[in-house]
Amino acid sequence: SAVISQKPSRDICQRGTSLTIQCQVDSQVTMMFWYRQQPGQSLTLIATANQGSEATYESGFVIDKFPISRPNLTFSTLTVSNMSPEDSSIYLCSVETSGSDEQFFGPGTRLTVL
Protein backbone atom coordinates (compact mmCIF):
# COMPACT_ATOMS: atom_id res chain seq x y z
CA SER A 1 0.00 0.00 0.00
CA ALA A 2 0.96 3.67 -0.06
CA VAL A 3 0.40 6.44 2.44
CA ILE A 4 -0.27 9.78 0.81
CA SER A 5 -0.44 13.20 2.43
CA GLN A 6 -1.68 16.43 0.91
CA LYS A 7 -1.23 20.05 1.91
CA PRO A 8 -3.24 22.10 2.49
CA SER A 9 -6.23 20.04 3.57
CA ARG A 10 -8.51 22.95 2.76
CA ASP A 11 -8.33 26.57 1.75
CA ILE A 12 -10.55 29.51 0.93
CA CYS A 13 -9.12 31.71 -1.81
CA GLN A 14 -10.00 34.88 -3.63
CA ARG A 15 -10.84 34.99 -7.31
CA GLY A 16 -7.80 35.58 -9.50
CA THR A 17 -5.24 34.13 -7.10
CA SER A 18 -3.34 30.83 -7.36
CA LEU A 19 -2.96 27.91 -4.98
CA THR A 20 -0.32 25.19 -4.99
CA ILE A 21 -1.26 21.81 -3.57
CA GLN A 22 1.44 19.42 -2.43
CA CYS A 23 1.32 15.64 -2.53
CA GLN A 24 3.82 13.48 -0.64
CA VAL A 25 4.00 9.68 -0.84
CA ASP A 26 5.78 7.42 1.62
CA SER A 27 7.32 5.28 -1.13
CA GLN A 28 8.67 5.74 -4.63
CA VAL A 29 5.99 5.51 -7.29
CA THR A 30 6.08 5.79 -11.04
CA MET A 31 2.59 7.05 -11.71
CA MET A 32 1.00 9.96 -9.89
CA PHE A 33 -2.37 11.36 -10.80
CA TRP A 34 -4.28 14.53 -10.02
CA TYR A 35 -8.08 14.41 -9.91
CA ARG A 36 -10.82 16.95 -9.37
CA GLN A 37 -14.13 16.17 -7.72
CA GLN A 38 -16.74 18.87 -8.03
CA PRO A 39 -19.62 18.95 -5.55
CA GLY A 40 -21.89 15.96 -5.98
CA GLN A 41 -19.86 14.60 -8.87
CA SER A 42 -17.51 11.71 -9.44
CA LEU A 43 -13.80 12.04 -10.07
CA THR A 44 -12.36 13.68 -13.17
CA LEU A 45 -8.74 13.09 -14.06
CA ILE A 46 -6.80 16.33 -14.58
CA ALA A 47 -3.40 14.93 -15.51
CA THR A 48 -0.86 12.18 -15.05
CA ALA A 49 2.46 13.30 -13.57
CA ASN A 50 5.55 11.25 -14.35
CA GLN A 51 8.95 11.99 -12.94
CA GLY A 52 11.37 13.48 -15.42
CA SER A 53 8.82 14.39 -18.05
CA GLU A 54 5.99 16.82 -18.59
CA ALA A 55 2.60 15.94 -17.23
CA THR A 56 0.01 14.49 -19.57
CA TYR A 57 -3.24 16.46 -19.43
CA GLU A 58 -6.72 15.16 -20.10
CA SER A 59 -9.12 16.83 -22.47
CA GLY A 60 -10.40 20.08 -21.02
CA PHE A 61 -7.38 20.72 -18.81
CA VAL A 62 -4.34 22.79 -19.82
CA ILE A 63 -0.91 23.37 -18.37
CA ASP A 64 -1.36 27.13 -18.07
CA LYS A 65 -4.31 26.64 -15.75
CA PHE A 66 -3.04 23.58 -13.86
CA PRO A 67 0.77 23.51 -13.91
CA ILE A 68 2.21 20.37 -12.34
CA SER A 69 5.66 19.60 -11.02
CA ARG A 70 7.11 16.15 -10.34
CA PRO A 71 10.68 16.67 -9.11
CA ASN A 72 11.15 13.11 -7.76
CA LEU A 73 9.40 9.78 -7.26
CA THR A 74 7.69 10.69 -3.97
CA PHE A 75 6.47 14.26 -4.50
CA SER A 76 4.30 16.32 -6.82
CA THR A 77 2.55 19.67 -6.82
CA LEU A 78 -0.55 20.91 -8.62
CA THR A 79 -1.17 24.63 -8.99
CA VAL A 80 -4.63 25.98 -9.66
CA SER A 81 -3.98 29.30 -11.41
CA ASN A 82 -6.09 32.42 -11.78
CA MET A 83 -8.89 30.82 -9.80
CA SER A 84 -12.59 31.39 -10.30
CA PRO A 85 -15.54 30.10 -8.24
CA GLU A 86 -15.91 27.27 -10.79
CA ASP A 87 -12.61 25.87 -9.52
CA SER A 88 -14.17 25.15 -6.13
CA SER A 89 -13.68 21.41 -5.76
CA ILE A 90 -11.87 18.70 -3.90
CA TYR A 91 -8.49 18.06 -5.51
CA LEU A 92 -7.11 14.57 -5.02
CA CYS A 93 -3.66 13.14 -5.51
CA SER A 94 -3.47 9.46 -6.39
CA VAL A 95 -0.74 6.91 -7.02
CA GLU A 96 -0.36 3.46 -8.40
CA THR A 97 2.41 1.60 -6.64
CA SER A 98 5.09 -0.17 -8.64
CA GLY A 99 4.30 -3.85 -9.06
CA SER A 100 0.74 -3.40 -7.83
CA ASP A 101 -2.39 -2.62 -9.79
CA GLU A 102 -4.05 -0.97 -6.84
CA GLN A 103 -4.73 2.75 -6.80
CA PHE A 104 -4.42 4.81 -3.63
CA PHE A 105 -5.64 8.30 -2.85
CA GLY A 106 -4.58 11.13 -0.64
CA PRO A 107 -7.02 12.79 1.79
CA GLY A 108 -7.83 15.56 -0.68
CA THR A 109 -7.63 19.35 -0.66
CA ARG A 110 -10.96 21.11 -0.34
CA LEU A 111 -10.77 24.39 -2.25
CA THR A 112 -13.36 27.14 -2.07
CA VAL A 113 -12.96 30.15 -4.35
CA LEU A 114 -14.90 33.28 -3.47
Partner 1 sequence: KQEVTQIPAALSVPEGENLVLNCSFTDSAIYNLQWFRQDPGKGLTSLLLIQSSQREQTSGRLNASLDKSSGRSTLYIAASQPGDSATYLCAVKPIGGSYIPTFGRGTSLIVHP
Q: Which residues bind partner 1 (CB under 8 A)?
A: 1, 4, 6, 41-43, 45, 48, 90, 92, 94, 101-108, 110
Q: Smaller CB distance to partner 1: residue 16 or 107?
A: 107
Q: Which residues contact 55 (CB under 8 A, 6 or more apart)?
A: 47, 48, 49, 63, 68, 70
- The whole-angstrom separation of Cα 10 and Cα 56 is 25
Q: Smaller CB distance to partner 1: residue 8 or 16?
A: 8
**8 Å CB contact between 55 and 70:** yes
Q: Cβ atoms within 10 A of the Cβ of 80, count?
A: 24
Q: Smaller CB distance to partner 1: residue 41 or 72?
A: 41
Q: How far is the CB of 109 from partner 1 (least distance, A)?
A: 9
Q: How far is the CB of 68 from partner 1 (least distance, A)?
A: 16
